[in-house]
Amino acid sequence: MIGLILKSILTLSSLFFTSYLFATGYWGWGIVFIFITAFFALFLVRNENLILAALQMRQQNMEKAQKYLNRIKQPQFLLKGQRAYFFYLKGIASSTIISMGQVESLFRKALSIGLKKDHDQAMAKMNIGAICMQTGRRREAETMLSEAKKLDKKGMLSDHIKSLKKQMGRATLRNQMRMAQMSKGKKGKMK
């Protein structure tokens, strides 16, 4: 919150100083300060820790990404879109550290707040589907994977979705075989 207030004050003071430079006739410095004001306004709208965390994730460095995300102490003060991507990136970065239930809740928060891009929504739903499959919620996993397939218009996640559906099919076959073996054992005891 304090960072947001400081960024706002810095942006407004830079804007007033830029307009003062133009009013007094210092056009060259005024043009330079337009770029400086735009830079400050960019960081007012975009959180630098989210940008740095996304860059670290692209380099597959999850520890540094987690470090940058942990710097954001109060995500409720972020803008709506930034808050959604905070929970989305937090879910991806901490998927190996925290429990599956917590990761699922992070992805669900990101979806409920509203991820803007379709492939990000597809990725979140695919991860929720994988978690549902591992916890035994087959129907929910199927719906999440089918929604992820609809949202993945470029086909970037199609291989992952197909492999998850194959795993789900194998798991149901194993469960059916196990149930058949258990029911045969009960019939044998009844005789």
- On whether the CB atoms of residues 11 and 41 are closer than 8 A, the answer is yes
**Which two three-digit tokens encode residue 100?**
């599956």
d(CA 14, CA 22): 12
Helical (H) or strand (E) element with 78: none
Tens-digit pLDDT profile for residues 6-25: 888 999 999 999 999 999 99
Confidence of residue 191 (pLDDT cuts 50, 70, 90): very low
Tell me the CA end-to-end span of the chain in Å, nearest whole number: 73
Tens-digit pLDDT profile for residues 131-163: 888 888 888 888 888 888 888 888 788 788 888
Confidence of residue 187 (pLDDT cuts 50, 70, 90): low
**Length of the chain (residues):** 191
Reference 33, options 47, 46, 16; nearest CA is 16
